[in-house]
Amino acid sequence: MQEGDIKDLLQSQDQFFKSSSKTSVTERISILKKLKSSIKAHEKDIVEAVYKDFQKPEFEVLTSELFVAYKEINLFIKKIKNWSKPKSVSSAWLNFPSSDKIYHVPWGKILVIAPWNYPFQLAITPVIGAIACGNTVVLKPSEHAPYTADILEKIISEVFEAQQAKVIQGAVETAKLLLEQKWDYVFFTGSVPVGRIVSQQIAKHMTPHTLELGGKNPCIVDASANLDVAAKRICWGKFLNAGQTCIAPDYLLINADIKAEFQEKLISTLKAFYADGTFTDYARLIHEDHYERLTGLLKGQNIIYGGDSEPETNFLEPTLVDSPDFSSTLMEEEIFGPILPVYAYSSFDELETTINTFDKPLSLYVFSERKDFIKRVNESFDFGGGVINDTIVHFVNDKLPFGGVGASGLGNYHGKASFETFTRKKSIVKRKTWLDIPIKYPPYTHVDSFKSFMNLFR
Ligand code: NAD
């Protein structure tokens, strides 16, 4: 799309936004129902598209792409009317007589930029929230999941007029062109370096925004943990989507007393998960560059399990690496693939030193049966969100706002948190006219009496 066409589109979205009849709550509910029907009608196409993009198994598409989207639509259909009601608050008695209300109003035109790793869900979930709240949307899906981008475009164009929601496909140049425009809100999901660029680019319009980014998520295994359950839950959360999950554990910190035992459990779990050796229930890496980057990270490392790879299919086996040097590239950046470094720790100080080496993570996981240990971990580290005795499952509860902190993100969404993200609060005081106390008007003849009044506050 050329810049002129984008400008025309945004003008039409502006007009659409201003016509309140088209964005009434009732209209929004009916359009959400239409969106749900269209997703349902295209379920098979979505499963096929995500498979073509990176061989993501059907079960993972159903659970982590489609189910999440249906849940979000259903929630908004059920709640949006109630959430959107203006909220009366008590008046300030300095304004007596008045009635005061907070209105939840949409921002206007929203740009959603999505990544490739959950290519359907991470694109459609913010669109659902934005539309439900009465905004218009332009969605730019990732160029690295082109089949899913096509089906997203098909669904959005079937359900919405372009004035309300439109997919614009393209790579970095298209994203840059879109970011040049004046938006009322930008919702970006992607890597930390690109998040930084996005923030800088939209600063010129001072556009409010959400950044859903990544980072190095620690996973701590205390000696008291249920090791059998921990091994399964860690391998599942790490190797789902072939490790290409923003909240996957990035590295393991295992109590030194149980490290050898736990390592064996991780290995036997992986053997059981992918017993037939065909890795049909396992996604592939998204593209050749990602394959080259990840296999490159393994060079010179002490691989204790896995490590097999196949460039023709961008396959990299679930891989465990023992204690890589903290200055190695493997530990300098977010891994974002099926490589799990495992370390031993001997004291809480050591845990603190290691975790605090990195920016504040998106997630942190701790496996332990000791309440005091769990409490200390929770109080010692700052992170977006986390789970005790499991990995990544905080994502599925739409009552929990999802997002990072510091370098791992800004703002949050999902469920009610999406409502709060995609609306802003407009505060209105409605004064009555039957009483007009003159004290505030010049000439100021009541200075002394106001001083006495202020004594109540001093
Ligand atoms: P990415 O940052 O490379 O790309 C994300 C989107 O930004 C794509 O649509 C891409 O076209 C666009 N983009 C790329 N370069 C750009 C530029 N210079 N200016 C403007 N836009 C640009 O990320 P990715 O590789 O698609 O996804 C992986 C990253 O996303 C990981 O770091 C992961 O942790 C993070 N992520 C975070 C979440 C979350 O919810 N916090 C979810 C998924 C992925």
Q: For the chain, what is the largest distance between any 2 Cα atoms, rounded to a whole number of angstroms?
A: 90
Q: Given the CA of residue 212, which atom of ligand 1 is nearest to it?
A: 41
Burial of 113 (0-12, 13-18, 19+ CB in 10 A): buried
pLDDT in tens, 75-85: 999 999 999 99
208 within 8 A of 106, measured Cβ to Cβ: no
Domains of the chain (ranges; CATH) run 3-213+409-425 (3.40.605.10), 218-403 (3.40.309.10)
- Strands of the 136-140 sheet, one edge to the other: 165-167, 136-140, 109-113, 185-189, 209-212, 409-410
Give Cα 433 to chain centroid, integer Å. 48
For 327, which DSSP code? Answer: T
Question: CA angle, corner 88, sides to 84 and 92, nearest 5?
Answer: 145
Q: Give the type of residue at 427.
A: S
- Ligand 1, atom 30, lies closest to the CA of 190
pLDDT band at 1 (very low <50, low <70, confident <90, very high): confident
Instruction: Give the pLDDT of residue 19.
Output: 80
Between the CA of 194 and the centroid of ligand 1 the distance, in Å, is 6
Whether the CB of 69 sits within 6 Å of ligand 1: no
With beta carbons less than 8 A apart as the criterion, state whether 357 and 250 touch: no
Claim: this prediction has a pTM higher than 0.85: yes
Q: For residue 18, what are its two tokens?
A: 């201003």
Q: Which 3 state secondary structure label does DSSP give 365? A: strand
Among the listed residues 133, 235, 246, 420, the single catalytic one is: 246
- Nearest to 182, CA basis, from 6, 423, 19, 22: 6
Query: Given ligand 1 and candidates 53, 65, 117, which is best to mutate, with the most ligand atoms within 8 Å of its CB?
Result: 117
pLDDT at 23: 79
CB atoms within 10 A of CB 161: 14
Q: What is the pLDDT of residues 95-113, one digit of tens each?
A: 999 999 999 999 999 999 9
Of residues 65, 72, 212, 317, which has the active-site annotation? 212
> pLDDT averaged over the chain?
97
What is the DSSP code (8-state) at residue 161?
-
Q: What is the mean pLDDT of residues 287-310?
A: 98
CB 343 within 8 A of CB 361: no
Q: Measured in angstroms, how far is the CA atom of residue 434 from the centroid of ligand 1?
A: 57
CA distances from 119 to 12, 150, 380 (A): 27, 11, 34
Binding site membership of 142 for ligand 1 (Cβ less than 6 Å): yes
Q: What is the average pLDDT across 193-205? A: 97
| Residue 246 known to be catalytic | yes
pLDDT score, position 18: 85
261, two tokens: 């035992």
Q: Does ligand 1 lie within 6 Å of residue 362's CB atom?
A: yes
User: 230-262: string of b/e by CB count within 10 Å (b at 16+)?
Assistant: bbbbbbbbbbbbbbbbbbbbbbbbbbeebbeeb
Sequence-separated (6 or more) residues with CB below 8 Å from residue 250: 215, 216, 217, 218, 219, 334, 335, 341, 361
Extract the runs of DSSP E, i.e. beta strands, from 124-232: 136-140, 165-167, 185-189, 209-212, 218-221
* Residue 22 confidence (pLDDT) above 70: no
Ligand 1 centre distance from Cα of residue 280 (Å): 27
Using the mean position of ligand 1's atoms as its centre, give its distance from the Cα of residue 83 in Å.
30
Of ligand 1's atoms, which has the minimum distance to the CA of residue 141? 9
Is the beta carbon of 198 within 6 A of some atom in ligand 1?
Answer: yes
Q: Whose CA is nearest to atom 32 of ligand 1?
A: 191
Q: CB of 102 closer than 6 A to ligand 1?
A: no
With vertex at residue 66, the alpha carbon angle to CA 60 and CA 69, rounded to the nearest 5 degrees, is 135
pLDDT tens digits for range 214-252? 999 999 999 999 999 999 999 999 999 999 999 999 999
The secondary structure of residue 433, as a DSSP letter, is S
212 is catalytic: yes
190 CA to centre of ligand 1 in angstroms: 2
Q: What is the pLDDT of residue 124?
A: 98
Residue 148 beta carbon below 6 angstroms from any ligand 1 atom: no
C-beta 259 within 6 A of ligand 1: no
- Residues 88-101 have a mean pLDDT of 95
Task: Specify the residue for token string 């999902």.
Answer: 414
Do residues 95 and 429 touch, judged by C-beta distance below 8 A?
yes
Neighbours of 400 (CB within 10 A): 14
Of 424, 419, 430, the closest CA to residue 89 belongs to 430
- Tell whether ligand 1 has an atom less than 6 A from the beta carbon of residue 177: no
Cβ neighbours for 116, distance < 8 A, ≥ 6 positions apart: 53, 54, 142, 143, 144, 145, 286
The average pLDDT across 107-132 equals 98
CA distance 242 to 318: 7
Closest approach atom of ligand 1 to CA 403? 41
Is there an atom of ligand 1 within 6 Å of 392 CB? no
Ligand 1 atom 37: residue of nearest CA: 213
* pLDDT tens, residue by residue, 352-361: 999 999 999 9
CB atoms within 10 A of CB 337: 26
State the angle between helix axes of 43-54 and 146-159 in degrees (0 to 180), rounded to the nearest 10.
160
* Residue 117 Cβ contacting ligand 1 at under 6 Å: yes
Ligand 1 atom closest to the CA of 384, numbered from 1: 41
Peptide bond into 97 cis (omega under 30): yes
Give the tens place of pLDDT for each residue, 37-74: 999 999 999 999 999 999 999 999 999 999 999 999 99
